[in-house]
Amino acid sequence: MALIQNSVIDVIEVLESGIIQVRQRNDIIDDSIGQIVASNFHRASFVPGSDVSAQPKRVQDIAAVIWTPEVISAYEAQVASHSTPSE
């Protein structure tokens, strides 16, 4: 029995605010029976304008299309309106 690890980005979501959420599924496969014997997930999210250069090309491509200057400005304005001034 040999175990093989396989990782795949199985979900990419774009929220209304422009935030991109990514879920990576990590499977352990028993190659003698060809079945997944264990899985776990890793999630990450990226706000408009953040650096996604280390992410898979699909995530980079989606960010390049979705994150227009208008989307980035709207997100920054939304964050600024929700921050509380320090006193």
34-51 pLDDT tens trace? 899 999 999 999 999 999
pTM assigned to the model:
0.82
* Total structural domains within the chain: 1
Indicate whether 28 belongs to any domain: yes
Using DSSP's 3-state secondary structure scheme, residue 8 falls into strand
- Cα 35 to Cα 30: distance, rounded to the nearest angstrom: 6
The parent domain of residue 25 ranges over 3-82
pLDDT score recorded for residue 1 = 75
Residue ranges for the chain with pLDDT beneath 50 = none
Indicate whether 33 belongs to any domain: yes
Indicate whether 45 belongs to any domain: yes
Mean pLDDT of the chain: 93
Indicate whether 43 belongs to any domain: yes
Indicate whether 87 belongs to any domain: no
Indicate whether 58 belongs to any domain: yes
